[in-house]
Chain A
Amino acid sequence: MEIIVLFFGHLTDITGESKLKIWDTKDTNELINLMSKKYPGINDMKYSIAINKVIIHENCILKDADVVALLPAFSGG
């Protein structure tokens, strides 16, 4: 199974890319752990998570072709 992860805002400072493909990740908790290992700096960041354009508030099961977006808060005006 293939999942697309999109990084928004200043998260791309840490990831260096705005889009990433990952495989065989069962839920969003596993995805967060995977991201923390791949990009340690991301642990210090606060962001909302969306699956297929719906913001989620707890761990959710992922399925093939899901698009997960990581959305940080920023405050510029």
Chain B
Amino acid sequence: MVSKNKYERYLRQIKLKELGTSGQDKLMKSKVLMIGAGGLGCAALPYLAAAGIGQIGIVDFDIVELSNLQRQTLYSIEDVGKSKTLVAVQKLKRFNPEIQIDSHQLKLESHNALKIICNYDIVIDGSDNFSTRYMVNDACTLLNKPLVYGSVLRFEGQVSVFNYCDQQGKSPVDYRDLFPAPPSAESVPDCAEAGVLGVLPGIIGALQVNECIKIITGIGQTLCNSILTYNCLSNQFYEFSIQPNKNKSQSAPSTEHEFVNFNYNWFCGTEFYQNEIAVEDFKSYINNKKFKIIDVREKEELPLITEFPHEQLSLKKIEEWSQNFSKEDTIILFCKSGKRSQTALRILTDKIPEMKLYSLKGGIEAWKNYSLQNENVE
């Protein structure tokens, strides 16, 4: 049964004098994007729909698995194998036919993120990996959208509000003010490895919607400039205040063009190789004076390279030497196999993000093989 008037199903919250019909109107006019329809998404989405958020977008590319059902309560046994986004949209439409629900059944990546996010007023992050979290954060910073952050592991959750300020005289902060650089991929277990208590994303996702409602209606105090942690074993909540971080990494993209070209998988260490030059192409660079070629192997390492001009600067020294480079430099790094040159590339990118850096794919071994084969052909 559809309500007789547009406020009927929301009467209990309209009754709250802080909210009233004017608050309800704001909710009905708002557009919220939920990134991820996993544990956090399944907790947040029903409450967003229940509150009467006018337009809800759901981004997820994944399908429902049996092991999701322990915490992802939007899905039933018959949904296993189906698209999470499609099932969630279907259920929420039945639950509240008066609102618009958009399905974005895709993997959010830097080439599509801005186009999707720009259509919404607020973003809720319920993703499950650091690449997406840094990407969503940077997209929201560029587009100036409030981001309601939530994250869970085992028995502990974190909630915060980024790119938003409800107190005068304070500057908004974002994820990079709290965690300027991502942890190495192997140092943090994910929920698949470490586990998560099913009810925890329920609590954290509900807290995210609570922040979202306060931002839209302007009531209460949000978690902007602070992060709330909750431990469901000890029942302890801690709230930490966050100040803008002057030391935060300069590597964050500052334009839409930089954003689209930013490799978040590489930045977060889930993809090792970046900016590789194949040996076939390397040949055309070796006598070009615009390119500085650097051998990052140790001084005594063989084979010796005499066929092209280069400098020798071992990986161990590259960090202290980085101050001698300028952002106008274009550098090709090489080593034995192409691995250390990637590590050097990562170090230099962090020090001088504007510098153009490349690494010889397969290293000097690949170059020698290639040269040998070509000699034979000739």
Contacts and interface: CB of A to CB of B under 8 A. Distances in A.
B153 A76 contact: yes
B129 A75 contact: yes
B152 A77 contact: yes
A74 B39 CA distance: 15
Contact of B240 (A54, A57, A58): A54
B198 to A, nearest CB: 12
A18 B155 CA distance: 13
A45 B188 CA distance: 8
Contacts of B240: 48, 50, 53-55, 69, 71
Interface in B119-151: 125-130, 133, 150-151
Contacts of B128: 75-77
Contacts of B194: 10, 76
A57 B173 CA distance: 13
Contact of B38 (A55, A72, A77): A77
A73 interface: yes
B184 interface: yes
A77 B239 contact: no
Contact of A76 (B41, B151, B178, B242): B151
Interface in A1-21: 8-10, 18
A74 B126 CA distance: 12
Interface string A34-77: 00000000001110101001110110000000000101111111
B183 A9 contact: no
B153 A10 contact: yes
B361 interface: no
Contacts of B178: 48, 55, 73
Given A48-B178, A50-B240, A73 B245 contact: no
Interface string B226-269: 01010000100011111101110000000000000000000000
B196 interface: yes
Nearest to B188: A74
Contacts of A58: 247
Given A10-B189, A45-B183, A53-B240, A77 B201 contact: yes
A46 B241 CA distance: 18
Contacts of A18: 234
A53 B238 CA distance: 8
B247 A9 contact: no
B187 A44 contact: yes
Contacts of B181: 46
B95 interface: no
A57 B246 contact: yes
A68 to B, nearest CB: 11
B242 A55 contact: yes
A75 B179 contact: no
16 contacts: A10-B154, A45-B187, A48-B178, A53-B240, A55-B227, A55-B243, A71-B227, A72-B183, A74-B153, A74-B158, A75-B151, A75-B190, A76-B152, A76-B196, A77-B126, A77-B150
**Lowest 7 A-B CB distances belong to which pairs?**
A46-B183, A74-B153, A76-B191, A77-B128, A73-B179, A76-B152, A57-B245
Given A9-B154, A75-B188, 9 more contacts: A10-B188, A46-B184, A48-B240, A55-B242, A57-B243, A74-B158, A75-B190, A76-B191, A77-B127
Interface of B: 36, 38-41, 125-130, 133, 150-154, 156, 158, 178-179, 181-184, 187-191, 194, 196, 201, 227, 229, 234, 238-243, 245-247
